[in-house]
A = this chain, B = another copy of it.
Amino acid sequence: MAAPLDASKLQITKTTTPATPLPNNQLKFGQSFTDHILEIDWTVEEGWGTPTITPYHDFKMDPATVVLHYSFELFEGLKAYRDSNGQIRTFRPDKNMERMNRSAKRASLPQFDSEEFIKLIHQFLLLDERFVPSGKGYSLYLRPTLIGTSIGLGVSSPTKAKLYMIASPVGPYFGAGFKPVSLEATDYAVRAWPKGVGSYKLGANYVSCIEPQAEAAKRGHSQNLWLFGDEGEITEVGAMNVFFAFANEDGTKELATAPLDGMILPGVTRDSAIQLCKEKLGKEWIVSERKITIHEVKERAAKGQLIEAFGTGTAAIVAPINNIEFRGEQITVPCSAGGSGEIAKSVCEWVQNIQYGDEEFKDWSRVAA
């Protein structure tokens, strides 16, 4: 019988050449890595093999390995934080593992027990804890990855796979303080569609994002805003979810984000922002998941009803937006709190307080042990 993932079987081989962690001011996103790698191989006959943590090393890969041809690859992004007591914490890792298993199923790759993998992640963190930086905004970015490793050019379910995790110490995504981003609305390419795979964290969803991003950059924008369909439905910004705050004519206010209709990634930060805003914003606020079109944003900005807008994601937590270009016209987005709007600023603080263990909220922050 195919074996389930079993964290108790972990075998650790420590590096004999430990690296010195970089100082905080030299950290670049995803460029330097910790001393070790976590790996678990799977075969269709045997199931999950022995989990290992060994010195970070290259893979040996046959050029006919299926991951290189048919995109049998998916990943997660989450972070580990050092709290004020020096303990290492992860933020809602169960949400990432739930999504990773959803992605695995859709990609015909093997699923696994989420809690067993979280135990392994925590063991990894205890071993490489020297690489978890201190200081708000600093963290260790974790990259669990699942790839198909069987060899052969037939297009079919992989019979071998590798689940692995590497980790990269990172600083604040936008440096010190907020720097709002300018967007170009993309309507010449679509990221996702109904009944497609846009809601899974597959590598396949990323390759097609570079060209629209580069096009936006040519015209001075830092991200592109994905639209869908004839009505110009807003789905995502670059690789982040997106929120808009509107003032209604009756005095109420609305914080709106695109719904989980299969066309957007179900972001952990998106979900956290929704839950926190429902609990912490004032009574005049309605938090809704609904279709938002670029035309609504444009019209409400013109009427002075657009309060603010921001993207959410693990890397940046929030990315305030100050401008959207749509078909050559500029939509100015207010940033009433300086480099961001008030909600973006609050969400960032609320989330960080939980991530760094300064505030307990539900079971969202877990201490690695």
Contacts and interface: CB of A to CB of B under 8 A. Distances in A.
A152 to B, nearest CB: 5
Nearest to A106: B211
Interface in A30-69: 30-31, 33, 37, 56, 58-64, 67-69
A210 B70 CA distance: 10
Interface stretch (A194-202, A304-312, A354-362): A194-202
B63 A37 contact: yes
A96 interface: no
Contacts of A67: 67-68
Contacts of A145: 63, 68-69
A193 B207 CA distance: 16
B207 A207 contact: no
A3 B104 CA distance: 40
Given A152-B31, A210-B156, A196 B190 contact: yes
A84 interface: no
A83 B152 CA distance: 27
Copies of this chain held together in the complex = 2
Chain B CB within 10 Å, residue with most, of A60, A155, A164, A209: A155
B153 A29 contact: yes
A197 B208 contact: yes
B71 A203 contact: yes
A33 B153 CA distance: 10
A189 interface: yes
A163 to B, nearest CB: 12
A30 B207 contact: no
Contact of A203 (B33, B68, B210): B68
25 contacts: A29-B154, A30-B64, A31-B153, A33-B64, A58-B61, A60-B61, A67-B67, A69-B203, A71-B73, A72-B207, A106-B211, A108-B207, A155-B206, A155-B209, A155-B210, A155-B213, A155-B239, A189-B195, A190-B194, A193-B196, A196-B196, A197-B208, A202-B204, A204-B204, A204-B208
